[in-house]
Amino acid sequence: MQKRILGKSGLEVSSLGLGCMGMSFSYGPPKDRQEMISLLRAAVERGVTFFDTAEVYGPFTNEELVGEALAPLRDKVVIATKFGFDTSVDPRAMKGGAPVLNSRPKHIKEVAEASLKRLKTEVIDLFYQHRVDPNVPIEDVAGAVKELIQEGKVKHFGLSEAGVQTIRRAHAVQPLTVLQSEYSLWTRTPEKEVIPTLEELGIGLVPYSPLGKGFLTGKIDEKVTFDSSDFRSSLPRFTPEALKANQALIHLLGSIAEKKNATPAQIALAWLLAQKPWIVPIPGTTKLHRLEENIGAVTVELTANDLRDIDTATSQISVQGARYPEKLEKMTGL
């Protein structure tokens, strides 16, 4: 597995990370714990060194899973987790509503202590604010993380789904290593303002949902039904009408995949990797064969002509459906 550097701080990770949320939360019922521990360790064996979790996933159970699985391999991996939600409010109440935010400095420090225990580690490699809290100045948030870094409890600071002004203000207090935002062939919003700002400031980008929450694998069409515990059942972009309309993107990926002897998912990931050398996608999976398929994307080469053809073709495709319900959409890009 090739390596990439995130940000000016020199954080080196595998070119692809692993998003761990779906193992415990959000994509249907939690998966078998021992199977997921085996999968996490198999990822390390195959060269993955970057693992993404958060206290709200479960809540808490995903951090516990990641902590147990990676404790024997701790010196080989980079673990990212997140703060910013009030986990005393059941996250299952998020469906149809908005989760409760809490990025007060005292709370951030409490979350850090609890996450360290669940992750069975002495230091959090990368600590993200999960969503911008409009009730707490970002300077106070950055200051709290700066203190945690000075205390040796955190190594790197990140934001998730933040807008450019928030990024600049946070970065002035405690340099950001990474921004995590949704970015893929069907969510290209960061290209307009965010990516140029990250390039200017020397901040890495970690795209979550790089496979469009499974859609870009080509395995989801309008006939699919989602369990009520699968949050895609509440997403406008996953209504049967939107899924049918958006198949044009899958046809495009499929045609390129055929020429490259690859899969649509591998083309989607290779496209992201080709955008900037400081982009590290974190596709999530609960299956070993999917993990291996995703890792295979690192060896797929897209030429300048390929990238130009993809851009030309995608410019003709209008993606249907908002990516989140309105209340959740309002929490992004702040």
Tell me the pLDDT band of 95, cut-offs 50, 70 and 90.
very low
pLDDT above 80: residue 91: no
User: Domain segments of the chain: what residues?
Assistant: 3-211+275-299
**pLDDT higher than 90, residue 7:** no
Q: What is the dihedral of CA 203, 57, 100, 208, to 10 degrees?
A: 30
Task: Tell me what pLDDT residue 28 has.
Answer: 85
Q: Mind listing the pLDDT tens digit for each residue in 271-314?
A: 999 999 999 999 999 999 999 999 999 999 999 999 999 999 99
Query: In the CATH scheme, what is the code of domain 3-211+275-299?
Result: 3.20.20.100
**Catalytic center residues:** 57
Beta bridge partners of 80: 52, 126
pTM as predicted? 0.95
Site of tokens 């949320």: 21
If pLDDT is split at 50, 70 and 90, which confidence band does 99 have? confident
What the block records as the tokens of 261 is 């002897």
Q: What is the pLDDT of residue 97?
A: 58
Please report which confidence band the pLDDT of residue 333 belongs to, taking 50, 70 and 90 as the band edges: confident
Q: What are the pLDDT digits (tens) for 220-268?
A: 999 999 988 899 999 999 999 999 999 999 999 999 999 999 999 999 9
Torsion of CA 289, 127, 332, 174, to 10 degrees: -140
pLDDT score, position 9: 86
Count Cβ atoms within 10 A of the Cβ of residue 152 and give its class: 0-12 exposed, 13-18 middle, 19 or more buried.
exposed
Q: Is the pLDDT of residue 93 over 60?
A: no
pLDDT at res. 71 = 98
